Structures are given as structure tokens and as C-alpha cells.
Amino acid sequence: MNFFLTEEQELAVDSFARFLQAEIKPIADRYRGEKIPKAAMQEALKLLLPYGMGNGLVPEELGGYGFDEVTIGLLFEQLAMVSPDISVMILIQTEVGMLLVDAPEHIRESHLTPLLAGDLLGCIGISEPDVGSNISEIKTRAKQDGDDWLISGEKCWISNGHYSDFIVVVSQGEKAAGNGLALFVVDRDMGYTSADIEKMGLNGQSTAQLFFDQVPVPADRMISPPGEGLKTLLTLLQGSRPLVGLMAVAVAQCALNESIQYAQERKQFGKPIAANQLIQARIANMSIKIEASRLLLYKALDHVHRGLRSDLQAAQAKLFATEAAVDVTRDALAIHGGNGITLEFPVQDLYRIAPILTVTEGTSEMQKLIIGRILLGIPAF
């Protein structure tokens, strides 16, 4: 085991952190408290692409950078510390790109290449109003109609949804529900519509409902045939769940940083509150949870990089890190006292973001069921 970064990774993280402060933070600050327009989000994307954000995991021969998962994680964590909202967009672009890597050549040319250039924004349609973590119960239907498939249904909680130029939509094909999931690439101009959803946090980016009403999709837009879609998605989640966990780590680290500064500056009874034992105990516990989260997450990403099965590691890491972020941001709010609940201090925003991440890419309860199924060999769902 080697817990040290390579010289190349250290240089990459250092230069990226400086770039983020100079180029991305002004965009995030400009739209703080409001939704980032699509044009501004694409501006940020194109600035981030040279650093492997949104294209880094795609092999070089297909137009990406061919970075390893650990390096992507290191950079992604830095981005999420500057703007969790922009990091959501990058996460989705990354996931869509990885789904298109194994798509037919004509789809790679029409969608993957412009995606990697930042000219197209994509999204993935999995969750539905009545279907969340149990992907096999998806109700959206794809019915074959001559050379086309007609897709009908509704998707919910879709990140990048209202921005999207196209979607990789998960539908039940012609096989029985539970083993008939298929994946299609559907352009917006084929007929799907969207509406943004307002949330308790992370409203700087688009989370949307998407609607499909007999949308005709050519048969050559299928990238996973009926029965193969579930396997494709489960493989994708092994790599994406640790990245969600790193978003949680970034949020928690920001909360810790704010708490340390506040505790050093805020005085009560003639001394900084940092001199109080209870404050120091909170700070110590916050730092331990963050560091433990990092170790679990980078271990999971290392498993993915080595081509090892990592569903257990991904679920453990995502569960621990996101729940730890909830604890850490709650402690940060307590350290700030009454000031913590005012809009003047950023901890209130971090406090509202952290619980959202316990739901994203599978709830904490679902991660526990995945872990239990793997360890016990008996499914509970």
C-alpha cells in the first residue's frame, strides 16, 4: 500500500487548484444563490476539459485523456470544493462519456466526440417518480415499431436534465420487467421535454423531470439491448458512487475549514472559542471522519482502476462519506452558533447540500442493502 501521490499527481492537483481559484470560482460566485445558465455551465465545462474534467476517463484513442480513476478523483474533489454545482455537471458528463465509449461507432462520432469537446451536454435517465434505487422496476417503456422504438414514460431527479442536448434513457424493452432494461441515446429534438425541480440545495445546477410521450427513436440509437442495460448501469455505478462520495468529502472539508477559521477568530469570555475543549473535540472528530472517508473512497477508485469488482467498496465508501458529511456539516453549524444559520456564513449552504448526497446514486439505505447482500449472500430486495 502506498498512500502518497505520485509527483505527476501532486503537480496536477496543485496546478488545477490554482486554476480553479482563478477561472472557475468567479463563475460560481457570479451565480451563487441562483441557477447557473446553460451557456455559463458550458463555458465552465470548456475551461475544465483541458484538466480532464468531463473527458479524463475516456481512452485517448477516442478523444479523451485516458486518466486513471484515482487521478480523476483527486481533481474532482478539488473542483467540488470550489463549486459542488459545477461538479455535478462534470460528474454527469463523465458518466455519459463512459456509457458511450462502448457504443457503436456512429454514436461515438455523433455524440461522444462533441460531448468530449463540450459542445453537447448529456444526461442519464434512470430514476422515475415511483422508481428510485431498484433500477429493475423502471416503468418507462420502449416498444418496437418498425425500424423505430417508441419510448414513453417519465424520468425524475435527472441531473443535467434541463440542460441536456441528449439523454441516455433507460427503458424496459420487449422482455419481461426486471431483465429487459435497454439503453437508448435520444436527442432532445426527437421530442422529450423537461422541467427543473427546486431542491433544498444544489440549485445552481439542473435537476429535472423529463417526459417521453411515444418518442420515436431509430433502432441504431440503442447502445444496450433489452436484458443488457442493468449490467451496464451496475458497472457504471461502481465508478460513479465514489465520485459522489468525494463531493461529500469536499463539502465536509469546506465545512471544517470554515469552522477552524471561525473558531480561531470568534471570541467568547475573553478568548477564542478554539480554546474550548468541546470545540476542539468537535474539530477533531470532523477531521477524522473526513480522512476516513477519503481513504475508503480512494481505495474504491483504486479497485475500479485495477479492474477489480468494486461494488462492495463503492457502496461502503459512498455510504460512509455521505453520512459523515451530514455529521460534519451539522457540527460546523453548531460551532458557528447563531451565525451558522444566517446567509452570511457558507456553512448553512453546506449543511443543506450534504443530505442530498446521501440520496444521489443510491440512498444510504440501498447502500446498506448492497453491502448486506454481498457479505451475507442473501438479497433483501
- What band does 309 get if pLDDT is binned at 50, 70 and 90? very high
CB 91 within 8 A of CB 113: no
- What is the pLDDT at residue 64? 97
pLDDT above 50: residue 178: no
- What is the pLDDT at residue 179? 52
Average pLDDT over residues 28-42: 95
- Take residue 149 and report the three cell numbers written for it: 422504438
- What is the pLDDT at residue 216? 96
Q: Where in the chain is the domain with CATH 1.10.540.10?
A: 7-116
pLDDT above 70: residue 52: yes
Query: What separation in angstroms does the CA of 51 have from each of 56, 67, 316?
Result: 8, 10, 28
> Please, what CATH class does the domain formed by 7-116 belong to?
mainly alpha
Could you give the percent of the chain with pLDDT greater than 70?
A: 98
- What is the pLDDT at residue 175? 52
Which phi and psi (to 5°) does residue 192 adopt? -80, 150
Q: Where in the chain is the domain with CATH 1.20.140.10?
A: 230-376
List, for residues 181-195, the tens digit of each pLDDT value. Answer: 999 999 999 999 999
Q: What is the pTM of this model?
A: 0.94
Identify each DSSP E strand in the chain by its residue range: 122-125, 141-145, 148-159, 166-172, 181-187, 193-196, 207-218, 222-224, 267-268, 271-272
List, for residues 260-273, the tens digit of each pLDDT value. Answer: 999 999 999 999 99
Checking DSSP bridges between strand 166-172 and strand 122-125, what pairing results, if any? Answer: parallel
- What band does 2 get if pLDDT is binned at 50, 70 and 90? confident
Average pLDDT over residues 46-70: 97
- What is the pLDDT at residue 338? 95
Pinpoint the alpha helices (H) of 157-276. 229-265
Which CATH homologous superfamily contains domain 230-376?
A: Butyryl-CoA Dehydrogenase, subunit A, domain 3 (1.20.140.10)
With 0-12 / 13-18 / 19 or more C-beta atoms within 10 angstroms meaning exposed / middle / buried, residue 24 is buried
List, for residues 273-290, the tens digit of each pLDDT value. Answer: 999 999 999 999 999 999
Q: Where in the chain is the domain with CATH 2.40.110.10?
A: 122-226
pLDDT above 80: residue 36: yes
Respond yes or no: is residue 361 known to be catalytic.
yes
- What is the pLDDT at residue 223? 95
**Helix 229-265 with 277-305: angle, nearest 10 deg:** 150
pLDDT above 60: residue 40: yes
- Name the catalytic one among 69, 323, 361, 365: 361
Residues 212 and 201: their CA atoms lie apart, in Å, by: 27
The closest of 262, 311, 314 to 286, measured between CA atoms, is 262
Residues 302 and 314: their CA atoms lie apart, in Å, by: 10
Residues 312 and 93: their CA atoms lie apart, in Å, by: 24
- What band does 296 get if pLDDT is binned at 50, 70 and 90? very high
Average pLDDT over residues 69-90: 98
Q: Burial letters for 256-268: b for 16+ Cβ neighbours within 10 Å, e otherwise?
A: bebbbebbeeeee
- What is the pLDDT at residue 176? 44
Among 131-135, 236-240, 249-253, the range scoring the smallest mean pLDDT is 131-135
Q: Which fold has domain 122-226?
A: Butyryl-CoA Dehydrogenase, subunit A; domain 2 (2.40.110)
Average pLDDT over residues 30-46: 96
Query: What separation in angstroms does the CA of 25 have from each of 81, 280, 354?
Result: 10, 30, 20
